[in-house]
Structure 1
């Protein structure tokens, strides 16, 4: 598998449109969420009085969906289990925080939540959350997901993939995923670059490369 760095050319396109509303309490946030989720594709993130409304762009959705495919390929080929949440709302009224991430997954804790709806009042948070933020966000998402206790958090800004692992209540950046330690950052970059030309070929090549790597272990 040919390696590429974060400086290689990725899809050049506008990022998300965002609007931040301040001074909103939890009730107002819930009302706004109910209203917008019924009428738009908007994603909401709420952090102790600040509500950010995001309208995803083409580039945002391109990367978010392909990163999800990347994760599912890894899970399948490595013989793991997964419960996929997508952008399911993760509300924690006790923390005065709520979010609709691009992707969320139960992997290590999949057996605890398989086959039923999630209730964060009693269930653990997702094992892995992914956010694509091409444009600036007013929400400190690292602090938000750390407060929720999400063990692993991926952020991608259209160029650079950041991997964070929760350590003593705060995120520390890693050079590889704790969930998929055999995968390096350049592996995702190569996958995304190849997807720009042909997503099917990119998936076939990645699966072939990954199976070879697994067999070498």
Structure 2
């Protein structure tokens, strides 16, 4: 099942640079961060600069609401990282995801700022990529050690779980096995018309499942 979406939906503007040294990437990042709200992903010499547009941001924020409802109703703990830069110079990789979360490893990171040289990567990363991306994000987040990676392209939700160093697609999220893909699609479909109604309806549904 897929979420119905307008044809040729444009979610992001992108610019790609290739064959960059880490130092050059950091200089570009520092310069443009002061002037724009762009996000930067760097993988093995490829830098992609992304400017999210309205459809991208709506889907990203609504998926975040979906996750927060599940966390609250299931009685879990959460540390939200948003688009915090996840950088590993030793791996020549840096990411600024749409949403990042610590859930299973919450107790290990709750009381301090994250240092990926000693702390685990976020347990769950969410990326909305409606338009084509030149960055291999599966490789990027697998290299960083992100155990669960959600990808959404405006219509379909991929649930990718890290197994032996690479992602394998699953039908359900191991973090939230209560929900099916159809539940996210229904939530988004309602939320695109009425966000408050979508939240109320979904909270009630989760509570009913738990009973």
Task: Give the TM-score of the pair, scaled to structure 2.
Answer: 0.97
Q: Report matched runs for 1:118-197 at 5 Å.
A: 118-197=114-193
SS at match of 1:179: coil
Cα separation, partners in 2 of 1:53 and 1:40, compared to 1, 3 Å:
same
Paired with 2:34 and 2:201, the residues of 1 have a C-alpha distance of: 39
Deviation at 1:37, TM superposition (A): 1.5
Gaps of at least 5 residues in structure 2 are none
Superposition RMSD on alpha carbons, in Å? Answer: 1.0
Query: How many angstroms apart in 1 are the aligned matches of 2:61 and 2:198?
Result: 14
Task: Indicate the larger mover: 160-169 or 37-46.
Answer: 37-46
Moved over 6 A (4+): none
- The Cα of 1:201 is off from its aligned counterpart by 0.5
Cα shift at 1:20: 0.5
Q: Secondary structure at the match of 1:144?
A: helix
Tell me whether 1:53 sits opposite 2:49 in the alignment: yes
Cα 1:86–1:25 change in 2 (3 A) is same
Partner in structure 2 of residue 9 of structure 1? 4
Within the candidate set 95, 99, 102, 2:95 is matched to: 99
- Report Cα offsets for 1:79-109 as digits up to 9, x if no partner: 0000000000000111000000000000000
Is the 8 Å Cα contact of residues 10 and 193 (structure 1) preserved in structure 2? no
- The Cα shift of 1:115 comes to 2.5
Q: Deviations over 1:149-207 (max 9, x none)?
A: 10000000000000000000000000010100111100000000000110000000000
Contact 1:10/1:192 (8 A) holds in 2: no
Unaligned runs of 5+ in 1: none
Deviates more, 1:150-159 or 1:109-118: 109-118
Distance in 1 (CA, whole Å) between partners of 2:199 and 2:6 is 18
Classify the secondary structure of the residue corresponding to 1:197: coil
Distance between the aligned counterparts of 1:81 and 1:170, measured in 2? 26
User: Under a length normalisation based on structure 1, what TM-score does the superposition of the two structures give?
Assistant: 0.95
CA drift at 1:10: 3.4
Question: What is the deviation of 1:116?
Answer: 1.4
